[in-house]
Amino acid sequence: MATKAKAVRGRQRFGGLDRDSLLRMYRTMFEARRTDDQEMLLKRQNKIFFQISGAGHEGIQVAIAEHLRPGSDWFYLYYRDRALALALGLTSYEQLLQAVAAESDPASGGRQMPAHWGKRELHIVSTSSPTGTQFLQSVGAAEAAWRATRVAEIRERIERFEDDEIVLCTTGEGQTSEGEFFEALNTACNLKLPVVFLVEDNGYAISVPVEVNTAGGSISKVVSGFPGLYIEEVDGTDVVASYEAAGRAVRYARERKGPALLHAHVTRPYSHSMSDEETRYKPPAEREEEARRDPITRLRQLLLAEGLATEAELTALEQEVLEQVRAASDRALQQPQPPKHTATRFLYSEEVDPCSEAFDTEDDPQFRGDPTTMVDLLNACLRDEMARDPRVVVFGEDVADCSREAYLERGEVKGKGGVFGVTFGLQRRYGSTRVFNSPLAEANIIGRAIGMAVRGLKPVVEIQFFDYIWPAMMQIRNELATMRYRSGGHWSAPVVIRVTYGGYLKGGAVYHSQTGESIFAHTPGLRVVMPSNAVDANGLLRTAIRCDDPVLFLEHKHLYRQVYNKGRDPGPNFMIPFGKAKVLREGTDVTVLACGALVKRSLDAAAAAEAKGISCEVIDLRSLSPLDMETIHASVKKTNKVLIAYEDARSWGIGAEIAARVAEELFEWLDAPVRRVASLDTWVAYSPQLEEVILPNMEDVLQAVEALAAY
């Protein structure tokens, strides 16, 4: 009885932790530090190629891990979370596999640098290098479950979750300077999402001290005004205090009170990475103070001082860990790197091919109703797909009918459904859980969508104007497009990004007329689609939603309500595969490859050319990535002359890539240089007279056709 009473008093003194828990935590911390050291040794021996340390952060990490449930909770970690990853179940051997770029690395299959954690069974979502991109994705992951609790059909279709699960998102203090940190807090607080943000503040962002990085030197004070955000500040080198503080933060989120922010002050005894030298900006006195606060040293002293372990016991434990880490290192070094032929694996889904016959129902449309516009047929596709698959959620700026639902219910307003009305009526039909407005923040839209897609939802998001997509570029290129590749196929994020683009609208000017599809077609892992008419828009959007890859779906504003490109609704199973161009007009003298708004102008030019005895074959590319080179080959071999017509600026546009491929693959069939018709290399001006000369028109295409025919 006396022994039991002593144990109870010990747990009370240590915040509820007993001897075994403290020893287990010490072992994990020591293993993390020694794994860091082993990687440093391997780097000096040129056996690995990069190293970044989690030293000094171990205390708060093992402390919060005691309150977490791997495989139930979800984790968005950052590169210093070695001890946390170990505590969640990722072994030092698995961590070293990544360091040596082994094919068997469970996080990335040799595709990511060391300390980029990931393991599907544990719900550790693939970590990436860009600072701060994890914030919005963690919010999206929490939001997926939050929405699933409101729609039973969603819950049945996505990856399992528990009603009290949380999402842990970790970060260094330096990363909180990113705007996406504040965007994430805004949405998490707005929806009261169960996200715990752990800020591991070691006082530096590489060499930039906290008082320079953050106003007032305290991120927890900066964000203190967020409604419903639980904030706790703790000495992250004190394991017991960290355990207690983490428990309160996690409990707040589990009880669905809202998000929590745990601000833990830690140390960084090693340089930022092995590419950095901290002695250049940290004086000896500061480094000595850090050494005194080392969490491993502090916990070891506690174990000895409280009689929870003897020196001999700790020495034996440490020796065992050292041998284990060395053995793991030796074993990892023996593992092969990924074969060279796998260099392009995992860019796209290997199970669902949107270029395949399974997505080709174009020859069997089930037409219904009268001819209508591209806007209406895009809306019809979204309506049908939301009925077919409850996982489809639609959001963005202004996409809902009305966020104040009472106005709709009382019939006080008609509802909006997007600036151009593409999503009109969807909120009324499917509810505000599946169709909703976002803040006016493009990165917020894409980041949240990635987190939702990782959990199994099918987000179809709208970026209101192509001109304003750039704040989301980091999320699109470095996160969305890389998710499958960087995780070795373990994670995917099949998000559809609908974007309105283009000119030919008087008054669009510099910031409502932009194109730039080549930038996204240049992004590996991202599909890029550009329909020119209502029926194609319907079929291509359906393919985009049903495929398992991220898709940039470009919708031309000028084409939304044109009479000439109207069509009848082709039915709920009408699909056009990606990489399938369409010959709209057959000819023998010149091939015109066109996309978007240039398709109609090219057809008009071809008609005018025919009157002059020139036969043009006009091809609508429809899909830019992938590109249908087979159809291009067949046409060029027939006409021997090629013109590429596109709306973007002439230099460095999509036409340059197509011209290069035609020259490379079809040179022997060419009887003339490949020509391009495109916009001038400038911005679109507000003046209609300037816009007319800047954007390519039918006469430009006709002149180029005539020049080629006469060559």
| Residues acting as catalytic residues | 512
Closest to 655 measured CA to CA, from 687, 693, 689, 700: 700
Angle between helices 698-710 and 598-610 (to 10 degrees): 50
Instruction: Supply the DSSP symbol for 692.
Output: H
Helix, strand, or coil here: 214? Answer: coil
DSSP track, 313-368: HHHHHHHHHHHHHHHHHHHHHTSPPPPGGGTTTTSS-SS--TTSGGG--TTS---E
Residue 89 φ/ψ region, left for φ over 0, alpha for ψ in the -120 to 50 degree band, beta for the rest = left
Q: Which two tokens stand for residue 498?
A: 């609908």
What sign for the dihedral angle of Cα 175, 179, 180, 181?
Answer: positive
Contact (CB, 8 A) for 648 and 501: no
Closest to 658 measured CA to CA, from 683, 633, 640: 633
CA gap 53, 59 in Å, rounded = 14
Contact (CB, 8 A) for 235 and 243: no
CA gap 556, 554 in Å, rounded = 6
All residues at 6 or more sequence positions from 311 whose CB lies less than 8 Å from its CB, including other chains: 304
Residue 434 φ/ψ region, left for φ over 0, alpha for ψ in the -120 to 50 degree band, beta for the rest = alpha
Q: What's at 334, amino acid-wise?
A: Q
